[in-house]
Amino acid sequence: MEALLDTCIQVPSALERNADDVVARVLSHEWVNSEYKHLILDAPDPAPRSLAGQFFNIECPSTESDKPFFRRPMSTYKADPQSGTVEFLYKVTGAGTRGLATLVTGQDVRILGPLGIGFRLAEDWRNIVVLGRGVGLATLAPLAETAASRGVTVTAVLSARNPARVMSVERFRDSGAQVEVVLDSDGTSAPANVEAMLRRLAEDGRADAFFTCGSNRLMLLMQRLGRELGIPGQVAMEQQMACGLGMCFCCVRTFKSGNATVSRRVCWEGPVFDLQEPLSW
Protein backbone atom coordinates (compact mmCIF):
# COMPACT_ATOMS: atom_id res chain seq x y z
CA MET A 1 0.00 0.00 0.00
CA GLU A 2 2.83 2.37 0.87
CA ALA A 3 4.35 1.81 -2.59
CA LEU A 4 1.01 2.43 -4.27
CA LEU A 5 0.50 5.69 -2.37
CA ASP A 6 4.01 6.72 -3.15
CA THR A 7 3.48 6.44 -6.88
CA CYS A 8 0.76 9.05 -6.35
CA ILE A 9 2.91 11.62 -4.53
CA GLN A 10 1.44 15.08 -4.48
CA VAL A 11 2.58 17.13 -7.45
CA PRO A 12 1.06 20.33 -8.84
CA SER A 13 -1.74 19.78 -11.31
CA ALA A 14 -1.31 20.61 -14.99
CA LEU A 15 -3.24 23.84 -14.48
CA GLU A 16 -1.02 24.90 -11.59
CA ARG A 17 2.11 24.37 -13.68
CA ASN A 18 1.59 27.24 -16.09
CA ALA A 19 3.43 25.74 -19.07
CA ASP A 20 2.72 26.69 -22.66
CA ASP A 21 3.94 25.80 -26.13
CA VAL A 22 5.29 29.08 -27.51
CA VAL A 23 7.28 30.33 -30.48
CA ALA A 24 10.53 31.96 -29.39
CA ARG A 25 13.01 33.91 -31.48
CA VAL A 26 16.76 33.38 -31.44
CA LEU A 27 18.60 36.46 -30.14
CA SER A 28 22.03 34.87 -29.93
CA HIS A 29 23.53 31.43 -30.42
CA GLU A 30 27.24 31.03 -29.76
CA TRP A 31 29.72 28.22 -29.17
CA VAL A 32 31.23 28.44 -25.66
CA ASN A 33 33.78 25.71 -26.42
CA SER A 34 34.13 22.96 -29.01
CA GLU A 35 31.19 20.96 -27.54
CA TYR A 36 28.72 23.38 -25.96
CA LYS A 37 26.47 26.13 -27.34
CA HIS A 38 24.70 28.95 -25.52
CA LEU A 39 21.27 29.80 -26.90
CA ILE A 40 19.43 33.00 -25.94
CA LEU A 41 15.77 33.31 -26.93
CA ASP A 42 13.26 36.11 -26.87
CA ALA A 43 10.22 34.21 -25.60
CA PRO A 44 6.66 35.12 -24.65
CA ASP A 45 5.12 34.28 -21.28
CA PRO A 46 5.24 31.99 -19.41
CA ALA A 47 8.70 30.89 -20.65
CA PRO A 48 10.75 33.68 -18.98
CA ARG A 49 9.09 32.83 -15.64
CA SER A 50 10.84 29.48 -15.51
CA LEU A 51 12.32 28.62 -12.10
CA ALA A 52 15.67 27.02 -11.28
CA GLY A 53 15.57 23.30 -12.04
CA GLN A 54 12.64 23.49 -14.47
CA PHE A 55 13.10 22.61 -18.14
CA PHE A 56 11.68 23.07 -21.66
CA ASN A 57 10.93 20.52 -24.37
CA ILE A 58 12.47 22.07 -27.47
CA GLU A 59 11.56 21.35 -31.09
CA CYS A 60 14.89 20.71 -32.77
CA PRO A 61 15.14 21.51 -36.51
CA SER A 62 15.71 18.64 -38.95
CA THR A 63 18.83 18.69 -41.08
CA GLU A 64 19.77 16.76 -44.20
CA SER A 65 21.16 13.95 -42.09
CA ASP A 66 19.14 14.19 -38.85
CA LYS A 67 15.38 14.00 -38.35
CA PRO A 68 14.83 14.36 -34.59
CA PHE A 69 11.23 13.19 -34.28
CA PHE A 70 10.76 14.02 -30.60
CA ARG A 71 11.55 17.24 -28.86
CA ARG A 72 14.58 17.36 -26.55
CA PRO A 73 14.47 18.42 -22.88
CA MET A 74 16.79 21.26 -21.84
CA SER A 75 17.19 22.83 -18.42
CA THR A 76 16.62 26.52 -18.05
CA TYR A 77 20.08 28.05 -17.90
CA LYS A 78 18.67 31.50 -17.29
CA ALA A 79 15.20 33.05 -17.44
CA ASP A 80 14.41 36.72 -17.04
CA PRO A 81 10.81 37.97 -16.95
CA GLN A 82 12.04 41.60 -17.20
CA SER A 83 13.76 41.13 -20.57
CA GLY A 84 11.48 38.29 -21.70
CA THR A 85 14.42 36.01 -22.40
CA VAL A 86 15.18 32.37 -21.70
CA GLU A 87 18.61 30.79 -22.16
CA PHE A 88 20.01 27.29 -22.62
CA LEU A 89 23.50 25.82 -22.41
CA TYR A 90 23.71 22.51 -24.21
CA LYS A 91 26.14 19.91 -25.45
CA VAL A 92 25.93 19.02 -29.13
CA THR A 93 25.56 15.26 -28.82
CA GLY A 94 23.20 13.56 -31.29
CA ALA A 95 20.41 14.14 -33.79
CA GLY A 96 18.37 16.64 -31.75
CA THR A 97 21.15 18.85 -30.52
CA ARG A 98 22.90 18.75 -33.92
CA GLY A 99 19.64 20.14 -35.37
CA LEU A 100 19.32 22.68 -32.56
CA ALA A 101 22.87 23.83 -33.26
CA THR A 102 21.79 25.01 -36.75
CA LEU A 103 19.49 27.73 -35.37
CA VAL A 104 20.60 31.22 -36.38
CA THR A 105 19.81 34.66 -35.00
CA GLY A 106 16.30 35.74 -35.95
CA GLN A 107 15.02 32.19 -36.51
CA ASP A 108 11.93 30.90 -34.65
CA VAL A 109 11.82 27.80 -32.48
CA ARG A 110 8.97 26.18 -30.56
CA ILE A 111 9.60 25.58 -26.87
CA LEU A 112 7.19 23.91 -24.44
CA GLY A 113 7.54 24.91 -20.82
CA PRO A 114 8.46 25.69 -18.18
CA LEU A 115 8.04 22.02 -17.25
CA GLY A 116 8.62 19.92 -14.16
CA ILE A 117 9.29 20.60 -10.50
CA GLY A 118 12.45 22.60 -9.82
CA PHE A 119 14.67 23.07 -6.76
CA ARG A 120 13.21 23.94 -3.37
CA LEU A 121 15.08 25.99 -0.75
CA ALA A 122 14.07 25.51 2.90
CA GLU A 123 13.77 28.72 4.94
CA ASP A 124 16.41 27.62 7.46
CA TRP A 125 19.15 26.74 4.94
CA ARG A 126 21.75 29.53 5.12
CA ASN A 127 24.64 27.70 3.35
CA ILE A 128 24.35 25.27 0.47
CA VAL A 129 26.79 23.27 -1.64
CA VAL A 130 26.14 22.68 -5.34
CA LEU A 131 28.18 20.02 -7.09
CA GLY A 132 27.91 19.72 -10.87
CA ARG A 133 29.56 18.31 -13.93
CA GLY A 134 29.05 18.79 -17.67
CA VAL A 135 25.52 19.81 -18.59
CA GLY A 136 24.69 19.67 -14.88
CA LEU A 137 26.30 23.08 -14.53
CA ALA A 138 23.59 24.55 -16.77
CA THR A 139 20.96 23.27 -14.36
CA LEU A 140 22.72 24.42 -11.18
CA ALA A 141 23.72 27.97 -12.23
CA PRO A 142 20.20 29.43 -11.79
CA LEU A 143 19.91 27.68 -8.41
CA ALA A 144 23.04 29.49 -7.20
CA GLU A 145 21.51 32.81 -8.27
CA THR A 146 18.14 32.11 -6.67
CA ALA A 147 19.85 31.06 -3.43
CA ALA A 148 22.05 34.17 -3.40
CA SER A 149 19.01 36.41 -3.95
CA ARG A 150 17.58 34.94 -0.73
CA GLY A 151 20.76 35.60 1.25
CA VAL A 152 21.94 31.98 1.13
CA THR A 153 25.71 31.44 0.84
CA VAL A 154 26.63 29.09 -2.00
CA THR A 155 29.74 26.96 -2.48
CA ALA A 156 29.88 25.68 -6.06
CA VAL A 157 32.09 22.68 -6.80
CA LEU A 158 32.44 22.47 -10.59
CA SER A 159 33.82 19.26 -12.04
CA ALA A 160 35.19 18.95 -15.59
CA ARG A 161 37.57 16.92 -17.76
CA ASN A 162 40.08 19.78 -18.15
CA PRO A 163 40.27 23.59 -17.82
CA ALA A 164 38.80 24.10 -21.31
CA ARG A 165 35.64 22.21 -20.29
CA VAL A 166 34.86 24.22 -17.14
CA MET A 167 31.84 26.38 -17.84
CA SER A 168 29.93 29.11 -16.05
CA VAL A 169 32.64 29.89 -13.49
CA GLU A 170 32.05 33.64 -13.89
CA ARG A 171 28.32 33.16 -13.72
CA PHE A 172 28.63 31.34 -10.36
CA ARG A 173 31.15 33.91 -9.08
CA ASP A 174 28.99 36.85 -10.15
CA SER A 175 26.16 35.40 -8.09
CA GLY A 176 28.47 35.55 -5.05
CA ALA A 177 29.23 31.83 -4.93
CA GLN A 178 32.55 30.53 -3.66
CA VAL A 179 33.77 28.46 -6.62
CA GLU A 180 35.98 25.37 -6.41
CA VAL A 181 37.00 23.78 -9.73
CA VAL A 182 38.00 20.10 -9.78
CA LEU A 183 39.49 18.50 -12.90
CA ASP A 184 40.12 15.03 -14.31
CA SER A 185 43.31 16.38 -15.91
CA ASP A 186 45.02 17.06 -12.57
CA GLY A 187 43.24 14.38 -10.56
CA THR A 188 41.37 16.81 -8.30
CA SER A 189 37.98 15.48 -9.49
CA ALA A 190 38.76 12.04 -8.00
CA PRO A 191 35.92 10.95 -5.70
CA ALA A 192 38.22 10.78 -2.67
CA ASN A 193 39.25 14.41 -3.14
CA VAL A 194 35.70 15.63 -3.74
CA GLU A 195 34.57 13.69 -0.67
CA ALA A 196 37.26 15.36 1.44
CA MET A 197 36.13 18.79 0.17
CA LEU A 198 32.51 18.08 1.01
CA ARG A 199 33.43 16.82 4.48
CA ARG A 200 35.45 19.99 5.12
CA LEU A 201 32.53 22.17 4.02
CA ALA A 202 30.22 20.25 6.34
CA GLU A 203 32.66 20.59 9.26
CA ASP A 204 32.93 24.34 8.60
CA GLY A 205 29.15 24.71 8.77
CA ARG A 206 28.91 25.58 5.07
CA ALA A 207 26.64 22.70 4.04
CA ASP A 208 23.06 22.94 5.31
CA ALA A 209 22.02 21.20 2.09
CA PHE A 210 23.59 19.42 -0.89
CA PHE A 211 22.54 19.85 -4.54
CA THR A 212 23.87 17.97 -7.53
CA CYS A 213 23.36 17.38 -11.25
CA GLY A 214 25.22 15.88 -14.19
CA SER A 215 26.98 12.80 -12.82
CA ASN A 216 25.71 9.54 -11.40
CA ARG A 217 29.01 9.06 -9.58
CA LEU A 218 28.81 12.46 -7.90
CA MET A 219 25.17 11.86 -7.01
CA LEU A 220 26.06 8.59 -5.27
CA LEU A 221 28.87 10.32 -3.38
CA MET A 222 26.61 13.13 -2.17
CA GLN A 223 23.87 10.64 -1.33
CA ARG A 224 26.21 8.62 0.88
CA LEU A 225 27.68 11.66 2.60
CA GLY A 226 24.26 13.26 3.05
CA ARG A 227 23.00 10.08 4.71
CA GLU A 228 26.07 9.78 6.93
CA LEU A 229 26.24 13.44 7.96
CA GLY A 230 22.48 14.06 8.14
CA ILE A 231 22.57 16.71 5.39
CA PRO A 232 19.43 16.95 3.23
CA GLY A 233 19.71 17.48 -0.50
CA GLN A 234 18.24 17.42 -3.97
CA VAL A 235 19.34 16.05 -7.32
CA ALA A 236 18.23 17.09 -10.80
CA MET A 237 17.89 13.91 -12.85
CA GLU A 238 18.36 13.40 -16.56
CA GLN A 239 16.45 10.87 -18.58
CA GLN A 240 15.48 10.54 -22.20
CA MET A 241 12.01 11.99 -22.69
CA ALA A 242 9.28 12.19 -25.30
CA CYS A 243 6.21 14.17 -24.20
CA GLY A 244 7.73 15.94 -21.17
CA LEU A 245 4.19 16.15 -19.82
CA GLY A 246 3.75 12.98 -17.77
CA MET A 247 1.68 11.13 -20.38
CA CYS A 248 3.94 8.66 -22.17
CA PHE A 249 5.82 7.16 -19.18
CA CYS A 250 9.04 6.81 -21.17
CA CYS A 251 11.03 8.72 -18.54
CA VAL A 252 10.23 6.48 -15.56
CA ARG A 253 13.06 5.72 -13.16
CA THR A 254 13.14 3.84 -9.89
CA PHE A 255 13.35 5.51 -6.51
CA LYS A 256 13.27 4.35 -2.94
CA SER A 257 10.77 5.74 -0.54
CA GLY A 258 11.06 4.33 2.96
CA ASN A 259 11.41 0.59 2.45
CA ALA A 260 9.59 0.60 -0.87
CA THR A 261 10.91 0.84 -4.42
CA VAL A 262 8.70 3.09 -6.52
CA SER A 263 8.51 4.30 -10.12
CA ARG A 264 8.35 7.98 -10.94
CA ARG A 265 8.30 10.03 -14.12
CA VAL A 266 11.32 12.30 -14.23
CA CYS A 267 9.44 14.89 -16.31
CA TRP A 268 6.41 15.11 -14.04
CA GLU A 269 7.37 14.24 -10.45
CA GLY A 270 10.85 15.71 -11.12
CA PRO A 271 13.28 16.40 -12.63
CA VAL A 272 14.43 17.51 -9.15
CA PHE A 273 14.11 14.84 -6.45
CA ASP A 274 15.14 14.35 -2.86
CA LEU A 275 18.81 13.34 -2.96
CA GLN A 276 18.21 10.16 -0.99
CA GLU A 277 15.52 8.78 -3.29
CA PRO A 278 16.98 7.94 -6.74
CA LEU A 279 18.40 4.46 -7.23
CA SER A 280 21.48 4.19 -9.43
CA TRP A 281 21.46 2.13 -12.63
Q: Report the distance separating Cα 22 and Cα 152, nearest Å.
A: 33
Helix 216-229 to helix 191-203 angle (10° resolution) is 40
For residue 246, the minimal CB distance to ligand FES (Å) is 5
| CB contact burial 240-254 (16+ within 10 A = b; e otherwise) | ebbbbbbeeeebbbe
Site for ligand FAD in 18-57 (CB under 6 A): 55
Q: Does 183 bind ligand FAD (CB under 6 A)?
A: no
When the beta carbons of 26 and 242 are compared against ligand FES, the nearer one is: 242
For residue 33, the minimal CB distance to ligand FAD (Å) is 12
Which one of the spans 24-32, 66-74, 117-125, 227-235 is the region binding ligand FAD (CB under 6 A)? 66-74
Q: Report the distance separating Cα 74 and Cα 89, nearest Å.
A: 8
Tell me the per-residue interface mask from 122 to 151 with ligand FAD, x by CB under 6 A, - otherwise: -------------x--xx------------
Q: Which does 25 bind (CB under 5 to 8 A by kind): ligand FAD, ligand FES, none?
A: none
Q: Does 31 bind ligand FES (CB under 6 A)?
A: no
Q: Which of 200, 144, 201 minimizes the C-alpha distance to 172?
A: 144
CB atoms under 10 Å from CB of 33, counted, come to 11
Indicate which single residue of 153, 188, 216, 239 sits in contact with ligand FAD (rule: CB under 6 A): 239
Q: How many residues bind ligand FES (CB under 6 A)?
A: 13
Q: Which of 51, 57, 40 minimizes the C-alpha distance to 17?
A: 51
Q: Does 63 bind ligand FAD (CB under 6 A)?
A: no
Q: Measured over all CA atoms, what is the biggest interatomic distance in the chain, rounded to whole angstroms?
A: 55
For residue 245, the minimal CB distance to ligand FES (Å) is 6
Q: Which does 72 bind (CB under 5 to 8 A by kind): ligand FES, ligand FAD, none?
A: ligand FAD
Site for ligand FES in 233-272 (CB under 6 A): 241-244, 246-251, 265, 267-268
Assess contact for 126 and 153: CB atoms under 8 A: yes
* Cβ neighbours for 123, distance < 8 A, ≥ 6 positions apart: none
Q: Report the distance separating Cα 165 and Cα 81, nearest Å.
A: 30
Residues in contact with ligand FAD by CB under 6 A are 55, 68, 72-75, 88-91, 93-97, 135, 138-139, 238-241, 271
